[in-house]
Amino acid sequence: MEDQKLRYLQSFILSTALTLQDLVRVARTWEENSRNCYAEDIRLDSDAFVKMLIVDASFLVELLLRSQVDVNRGMEDMIYGKQNMIGDVNHDIMLLENQLPYFVVEGMFGLLHDDYRWGLPPLSRIIHNHFRSSG
């Protein structure tokens, strides 16, 4: 799954006007507030925590976008290219230990290039549509 997350990160970056270094700078501004959202102390150093925010949030946004629009789907996509995989992924997303602060996901969605976001519903609607259709 980590390989798929990295492929989704690459695809996400192509949907923005940013570099990976830009994403790191943005995610560092979310670090303190993100750490404060967890009940338990996160035992990751700053670099590892920021990497986790970037990889997981870009994965989630890309997953949601792919459920909204049939772009970037193909047989090499381990999630949408394999039958029933999306159900397993949705289950993992819902696990409490896998939760990301919503403001991070929303912030990542906001980094998409305007041309890419044009015509898309708000993130909350995309999330609703994703779970309703892939149940």
Q: What is the pLDDT of residues 36-61, one digit of tens each?
A: 999 888 899 999 999 999 999 999 99
30: which residues sit within 8 A by CB, 6+ positions away? 53, 101, 103, 104, 107
The pLDDT of residue 56 is: 94
pTM of the model as a whole: 0.85
Q: What is the mean pLDDT of the chain?
A: 86
* Lowest pLDDT segment from 13-17, 71-75, 114-118: 71-75
Quick one: tokens of 14? 């192509």
Decide which of 35 and 4 is more confident.
Answer: 35
